[in-house]
Amino acid sequence: MNPYVRPVSPALQWHAADDEWIALGFEVIEGRSSDFTPESRDLPEVVGIVEQIGELPLPGEADEWQETRWDRFADEADAQLFRGKTLLFTDINPDNLMIGYGRAWAVDWSWPTHGAAFIDPSCLIVQLIAAGHTPESAEHWAGSCKGWTEADTRAIDAFAAATARMNRAFADRNPDASWLGAMADAAQAWADHRAR
């Protein structure tokens, strides 16, 4: 998959695999975790990398990578709104969107899938809210992504509700993981905003 994501990610240098593990070695990059807080100067680059990911071609082998993680938190009709042929990163967080010298990088492609183009901008929204943005501010930043602006609002509403249910389930299963509770609160704040 690396040739497909090379415009936004470090180059794959080597790989090894056995029956249980796959090990990948990437080029070393100079950079730091991005800052998602409201005052951050990183936000244009963060949004830019999310938009770039949404414009990457879908690898041929991606037919088996359909995004389904949110399906069990939505009814069948709503889950169909999450389908699409856009390459998705989905693991959006400050550590995985790194800021380098004059550019940003997406690292740790552990969950690549394909689905509706609004999913990655939506994942960014929840992260921004968790970092201190209001839902309105977070959606403003997502508005720079074509996948967000071209989406059906009904699909976004359904995804926000499913995201809140999913994050709450994760937090309830792991009550000692405070970061999961923070993500559940952020997702619920976004879902409540969408419901209004």
Task: pLDDT band for 23, please (50, 70, 90 cuts).
Answer: confident
Most confident of the ranges 16-30, 62-76, 149-163: 149-163
Encoded tokens for 11:
């180059």
Q: Which residues contact 40 (CB under 8 A, 6 or more apart)?
A: 34, 46
pTM of the shown model: 0.92
1 has pLDDT over 60: no
Is residue 91 exposed (0-12), middle (13-18) or buried (19+ Cβ within 10 Å)?
A: middle
Q: Could you give the 3-state DSSP secondary structure of residue 21? A: coil
Note the pLDDT tens digit of each residue in 95-132. 999 998 888 999 988 888 999 999 999 999 999 999 99
Place domain 33-195 in its CATH homologous superfamily. Transferase(Phosphotransferase) domain 1 (1.10.510.10)
Average pLDDT over residues 69-98: 96
Least confident of 3-12, 77-86, 121-130, 137-146: 3-12
Least confident of 99-108, 140-149, 167-176, 184-193: 99-108
Work out the mean pLDDT of the chain and round it to a whole number: 93
Ranges of each domain in the chain: 33-195
